[in-house]
Structure 1
Amino acid sequence: MTPGPKNLITDVPGLLVGNAQDEALKSGTTVLTSDQAFTASVHVMGGAPGTRETDLLAPDKSVAQVDAITLSGGSAFGLDACSGVSDALRSQGRGYLVGDAVVPIVPGAILFDLLNGGDKGWDENPYRALGKTAFEQAAEDFDLGTAGAGTGALAARHKGGLGSASLVLDSGVTVGALVAANPLGSVTTPGDRHFWAAPFEFDGEFGGLGPDSSAGLGMPAPSRKAQAMRLAQPEKGNTTIAIVATDAVLSKPQCQRLAVAAHDGIARAILPAHTPGDGDLVFGVSTGAQSVNAEAELGLIGHAAAICLARSIARAIYLATPAAGDLLPCWSAPHDLS
């Protein structure tokens, strides 16, 4: 397995990603889409998810394919980003056909970034417009770090962000991940330099420092995030939301198994993970371009998805950049809170 040419989820042929953000708001939206509808499912392991249309992605529900998936900041307000994406799809005549009606189905998930120091005093919910803009910006190349849904994200010790990574398997199947990392837990070992995901790194993609050689690392350092947001309960105000995708032909139930397996990547990159106060969620997507023996290959595809997701989380924090009014330092600028 080696990373794809862009080391992005858009190495999966046909997939596009768009970002939109507001620097004053310290928040934004990210949209995954394609020119063709794709098969999708979802698996939730966090205790505090915020979602739209995810029930429809259960294997026993009627709609197997969607035209876009939205990740957004803004907590419950951010779910309106899906409406902006839906508006844009409808203007293109894309969606689920019901007689003469076209109904865009846009599942989405949100993270909590309402207490990150940004200006949240809006008169009109800004996320519908951010969703539409993100969809219109969708392309094979897109920004990571402080961008899109990761703009206002915060991890326990550092500024969070948007991350992505890919792998191409020996069979030619491509697997990729996209994540907005805003976890309760820390992405680095005590001391704040080594990433938990270090054993899975390729080519120094998040600093190349390697694993922490210390022992007894199970207890993470205290959360700067909770203190900065003045939260008496650190378990409130978190979530890591992600999409993993492949070009292998997978059914809707197999996409759910892909999402289940990918959650291992969250657990490998964040400590602790899947807490009652995180809304940890992974969408599983198949574009269906590569015909494979899915029963035989699904285990390896899921394994690759977990590795991609762990690397994506580390890249999200590694690539975050400082901005005025930040509550937490960036990994790359640990003393800069200008």
Structure 2
Amino acid sequence: AELDSDGVGEFDRYWGGLPHPDDGGLEALLARGLGGTKLPPGTTGTSPMNTVIGVVATDAPVTKAQAERLAMAAHDGLARAVRPSHLPMDGDSFFALSTGGGGETGVGVPGEELALFATVAADCAERAVVHAVLAASSMYEVPSWTELME
């Protein structure tokens, strides 16, 4: 997590008052209904409320195979932000695209650049999911994270 000039983490302001798991944090989360957010108790089959869809876009001239690698890296970021993730009933999908052209030559970007892009794709996907959850509003009788944490 990135720290600002005061040494405060990017998302620390959202966690204030949330007890640490060793100090009863798990019980607090379960009491707020967070234990069943991914798989509500007694649910079977698929749930359309548990799908994450995202896009990784770049202007680098990546090949089709390299774009696939970036999409896979974004899934790693999803796994950091959503637990559990990649369950059999999920429809989690990330797509990658390039506006840079040149990927059709089959050359793409060097392996070192692709490794850096993949790292950034995972970090960006993780941060995007967390930012989206923190910015969401309650809807259709499903409470938002902010409401649950009140």
Q: TM-score range by the shorter chain?
A: 0.5 to 0.7
Once the two structures are TM-superposed, the CA of residue 232 in structure 1 deviates from its matched residue by: 2.9
Alignment match of 2:79 (pick from 267, 284, 292): 267
**Paired amino acid for 2:148:** P
**Paired amino acid for 1:295:** G
Separation in 2 of the partners of 1:283 and 1:321? 26
2:111 matches 1:295? yes
Higher helix content, 1 or 2: 2
Residue matched to 2:46: 236
**Paired amino acid for 2:132:** A
TM-score, normalised with respect to structure 1: 0.33
**Where does 1:64-83 land on structure 2 (aligned, <5 Å)?**
none
2:128 matches 1:312? yes
Once the two structures are TM-superposed, the CA of residue 296 in structure 1 deviates from its matched residue by: 2.2
Separation in 2 of the partners of 1:254 and 1:274? 21
TM-score, normalised with respect to structure 2: 0.68
> Aligned pair in 2 of structure 1 residues 260, 232: CA closer, same or farther (>3 Å)?
closer
Separation in 2 of the partners of 1:205 and 1:223? 23
Residue matched to 1:249: 61
**Where does 1:205-244 land on structure 2 (aligned, <5 Å)?**
207=13, 209=15, 214=21, 221=30, 222-224=35-37, 227=40, 232-233=43-44, 236-237=46-47, 238-244=50-56
Residue matched to 2:146: 332
| Contact 1:225-1:328 at 8 Å conserved across structures | no
Per-residue CA deviations over 1:60-108 (Å, capped at 9, x if unaligned) read xxxxxxxxxxxxxxxxxxxxxxxxxxxxxxxxxxxxxxxxxxxxxxxxx
| Contact 2:56-2:94 at 8 Å conserved across structures | yes
Residue matched to 1:321: 137
Residue matched to 1:281: 93
Residue matched to 1:258: 70
Per-residue CA deviations over 1:45-72 (Å, capped at 9, x if unaligned) read xxxxxxxxxxxxxxxxxxxxxxxxxxxx
> Aligned pair in 2 of structure 1 residues 231, 316: CA closer, same or farther (>3 Å)?
farther
Once the two structures are TM-superposed, the CA of residue 204 in structure 1 deviates from its matched residue by: 3.3
Once the two structures are TM-superposed, the CA of residue 278 in structure 1 deviates from its matched residue by: 0.5
| Contact 1:243-1:283 at 8 Å conserved across structures | yes
Q: What percent of counterpart residues are identical? A: 34
> Aligned pair in 2 of structure 1 residues 240, 297: CA closer, same or farther (>3 Å)?
same
| Contact 1:267-1:273 at 8 Å conserved across structures | yes
| Contact 1:201-1:311 at 8 Å conserved across structures | no
> Aligned pair in 2 of structure 1 residues 331, 206: CA closer, same or farther (>3 Å)?
farther
Aligned-residue CA RMSD (Å): 3.7
Q: Secondary structure at the match of 1:333?
A: helix
> Aligned pair in 2 of structure 1 residues 290, 303: CA closer, same or farther (>3 Å)?
farther
Once the two structures are TM-superposed, the CA of residue 266 in structure 1 deviates from its matched residue by: 0.8
**Paired amino acid for 1:286:** S
Once the two structures are TM-superposed, the CA of residue 332 in structure 1 deviates from its matched residue by: 1.9
Separation in 2 of the partners of 1:330 and 1:310? 18
**Paired amino acid for 2:142:** L
Once the two structures are TM-superposed, the CA of residue 259 in structure 1 deviates from its matched residue by: 0.8
Unaligned segments of structure 2, at least 5 residues = none
Separation in 1 of the partners of 2:38 and 2:74? 25
Separation in 2 of the partners of 1:201 and 1:240? 27
> Aligned pair in 2 of structure 1 residues 264, 201: CA closer, same or farther (>3 Å)?
farther
How many residues are aligned here?
131
Once the two structures are TM-superposed, the CA of residue 226 in structure 1 deviates from its matched residue by: 5.2
Residue matched to 1:204: 10
Separation in 1 of the partners of 2:117 and 2:3? 18
Separation in 2 of the partners of 1:262 and 1:254? 13
**Paired amino acid for 1:284:** A
